[in-house]
Structure 1
């Protein structure tokens, strides 16, 4: 039944049912159930349809959120899906993993008025999962085939979003990636309890069925240089993401059992996908039966602590140098981790590590912190509290301190590729093209480690920029040929 809007004064905010912590921490299935159609319509009807939709303003993709909420409330789900997918290449993925509490939902007008935000992410997930179930989402055929081809380095969210947009315009598109599956961070970085892998695989398969070619296990610099790709394609997009883990200095930091977060998460996801992972089987990359300490406060740290719980760790502790209110990760993820038994040591930072005679880590030496004056970013700077050192026992320590770019000019055999002092690829932000003719870049490799939704936005923008570049180049070539003929 169609629902009237502005029901927030009568209907309370309600999320889909969440599985209990004791149940969900035994597996890697997603923790939220699906909305029933009536409940999705009811929750969508809470939208106030405000004149200035701050949810849309604060969404990196500027999704038309009030429109598809209204259509959902009216029972017009196929139209809601069409509006949702018009601005987002992966809406059901964003509905699952976006930090809505910091973006759309956190800026909802009725949230600011004390009525509780509209459950935007859950409704977005419901709309698009329904679209898959009903068969509305099918491979697409561009209205015409163009002669030009595009090469995209990186099969993560930025690269796949750009690939879809360019294929829709009729270009031949080839996506190159060093891994054996497309999806990048979506497939190997984010755990299944947040994003089940078949959700990603159906997206990547649809792109393949629509004519996009994948070249997996392909490393630029090993299998071909950047120059080779430039010669083969009319435009090349670098969308590799950033995967170089930030490290920790300090006594004992070279002990066995101190590992980068992504190595741990990739192994766990590979096991879940059915791959044979020797270092997981021998225990090196498994948390089972271990006291685990995770260092960091972002979403990657939350993925690590919650994965360790599911693998059977005897205890899981998260060390973060600021307090809860100042952590960069989603507060929703922190709450889920606490429900699952994770212990947080707020305002604590590592100073060194203890190891046994075999160089196996035994503990983390940490110090208490306090928040001082704001730094250049506006966040209060953490300062050590003298004489407050303490030890946390650990058999496995995971470093989740963020990611930096790899040395792409060296890896790609392209010393002329311009990078910033941080190692990110330098582009003209009006055109997204580097100083190398026809070479573009998008996503984390340009902006630094960020959100999936920003990568999708950057990939879409890069597609528009590449299309304009190729069309202008084709037009100029045609004009030159005409002048010569005259």
Structure 2
């Protein structure tokens, strides 16, 4: 009987949660997708084919047991569905909102490949966990046995938080150090509320605090506390700082007033959503209202910036990207959402210079795609004579992120880095060149996805427990 609730993809069409109308949502920072109703979530979950080789599972970095919790949702067994979802994913409600499912689980769904339209995995994952919060099924961590050993985690982003959760479940004493005044990293200050409302993140922070995780905020390692002091205080250290250094522009006039970094712009906007007093917004530096805004870049951070500028009341918002739409790194779903809200994309265009101080215009170079570069993508090349001026009173640099020089910043000797400046860590154990010091997430991988940081954090916590067990065993001999 239960099996009859599945395999309905032949008769039941794919549906996604309803989007709020662009004319309404473009004036606020609330999430744009409405919730699935119980019946609709069960109906869409029932479209899963329960295939023998679930590519959704294998293409998920966390290897979530997706077919299992889809079936349980179709059968109305939501608490069990949540338990299975939470078993492999520390923050399923966050991944359900911000993961690029079109490139991961949904993009590799078997029925999508057969032409029936993918199962809406992300929306159902979000629905399951939101229901779990509403029903009180999400509980603080209570380890079976408390251990005396402690771990210091530097960075309260997704990798650090996932490690904190897993380490507490193993009974370790956990302290998280972070430079910001609120935990969450880019989840809190980098991703806008229309993709991830902040109460969702704050609920997880509170759950970790109630489970015994200590947070030390407004703490800059190398200034407020030394790295050596953290090492001396804890039995193991995990570096999970992420990457925050913005790739810069070297074009003439790039240092003009009004040319700003994406991370600063998004942080200010998100601070406003908490009700903070932000002078940099009040004085107009990070306020797009009434301005012609040009965002440079084609990744998800650029999409966050253009859609934020629309909500701030910009006069016009244009996104310059040096390749075409098919070759942009950002989510196509986000591009569509941005276009609906009034953003204009200027494909095959790159900045060549800037005029005015404060900035008044961008000199734009038209591009074409030439021979493939080292990555196999066609390299953009300038079109001779294809130059024009684009008015702009605000230019946002969304060119990607690079790692900070942590050994120099923290005054640490013996912490090896790669030629890209990322921390060198063992692929399996996440151990760095310093004994008892581990590293995860973007500071190891380079700028990547939240879901990969969560996986790294969970794995590292397990490896840290093994390391501490081995250390204790040697000491006992």
TM-score category, normalised to shorter length = over 0.9
Contact 1:190–1:303 under 8 Å retained in 2: yes
Contact 2:45–2:71 under 8 Å retained in 1: yes
Give me the whole-angstrom Cα distance separating, in 1, the residues matched to 2:389 and 2:104: 37
1:46-445 equivalences in 2 (<5 Å) = 46-355=47-356, 359-445=357-443
Contact 2:141–2:165 under 8 Å retained in 1: no
Give me the whole-angstrom Cα distance separating, in 2, the residues matched to 1:312 and 1:352: 26
Give me the whole-angstrom Cα distance separating, in 1, the residues matched to 2:390 and 2:56: 41
What is aligned with 2:11?
10
| Partner SS state of residue 27, structure 1 | coil
Encode CA deviations 1:201-221: one digit per residue, 9 max, x unaligned: 000000000000000011111
Give me the whole-angstrom Cα distance separating, in 2, the residues matched to 1:243 and 1:385: 33
Contact 2:238–2:438 under 8 Å retained in 1: yes
In the comparison of the two structures, how many residue pairs are matched? Answer: 476
TM-superposed CA distance for 1:417, in Å, is 1.5
TM-superposed CA distance for 1:42, in Å, is 0.3
In structure 2, stretches of 5+ residues that fail to align are none
Give me the whole-angstrom Cα distance separating, in 2, the residues matched to 1:49 and 1:391: 54
| Partner SS state of residue 204, structure 1 | helix
TM-superposed CA distance for 1:415, in Å, is 3.1
Give me the whole-angstrom Cα distance separating, in 1, the residues matched to 2:82 and 2:149: 31
Contact 2:141–2:168 under 8 Å retained in 1: no
Encode CA deviations 1:285-307: one digit per residue, 9 max, x unaligned: 10011000000000000000000
| Partner SS state of residue 285, structure 1 | coil
Encode CA deviations 1:78-97: one digit per residue, 9 max, x unaligned: 01000100000000000000
Give me the whole-angstrom Cα distance separating, in 2, the residues matched to 1:219 and 1:255: 29
Which one of 449, 452, 455 corresponds to residue 450 of structure 2?
452
- TM-score normalized with structure 2 length: 0.99
Contact 1:225–1:414 under 8 Å retained in 2: no
In structure 1, stretches of 5+ residues that fail to align are 480-486
TM-superposed CA distance for 1:32, in Å, is 0.5
Encode CA deviations 1:252-308: one digit per residue, 9 max, x unaligned: 111110000010000000011111110100111100110000000000000000000
TM-superposed CA distance for 1:373, in Å, is 1.7
Encode CA deviations 1:136-161: one digit per residue, 9 max, x unaligned: 00112100110100000000000000
Give me the whole-angstrom Cα distance separating, in 1, the residues matched to 2:68 and 2:460: 26
TM-superposed CA distance for 1:416, in Å, is 2.4
What is aligned with 2:25?
24
Give me the whole-angstrom Cα distance separating, in 2, the residues matched to 1:21 and 1:428: 46
Give me the whole-angstrom Cα distance separating, in 1, the residues matched to 2:141 and 2:344: 47
Q: CA RMSD in A?
A: 1.0
Give me the whole-angstrom Cα distance separating, in 1, the residues matched to 2:134 and 2:69: 18
Give me the whole-angstrom Cα distance separating, in 2, the residues matched to 1:370 and 1:58: 33
Contact 2:259–2:395 under 8 Å retained in 1: yes
Runs of 4+, deviation exceeding 6 Å: none
Give me the whole-angstrom Cα distance separating, in 2, the residues matched to 1:391 and 1:285: 23
Give me the whole-angstrom Cα distance separating, in 2, the residues matched to 1:263 and 1:223: 22
TM-superposed CA distance for 1:372, in Å, is 1.4
Give me the whole-angstrom Cα distance separating, in 2, the residues matched to 1:70 and 1:377: 39
Contact 1:48–1:110 under 8 Å retained in 2: yes
Contact 2:155–2:242 under 8 Å retained in 1: yes
Encode CA deviations 1:427-457: one digit per residue, 9 max, x unaligned: 1223211111101000000000000001001
What is aligned with 1:483?
none
| Partner SS state of residue 94, structure 1 | helix
Contact 1:154–1:239 under 8 Å retained in 2: yes
TM-superposed CA distance for 1:230, in Å, is 1.1
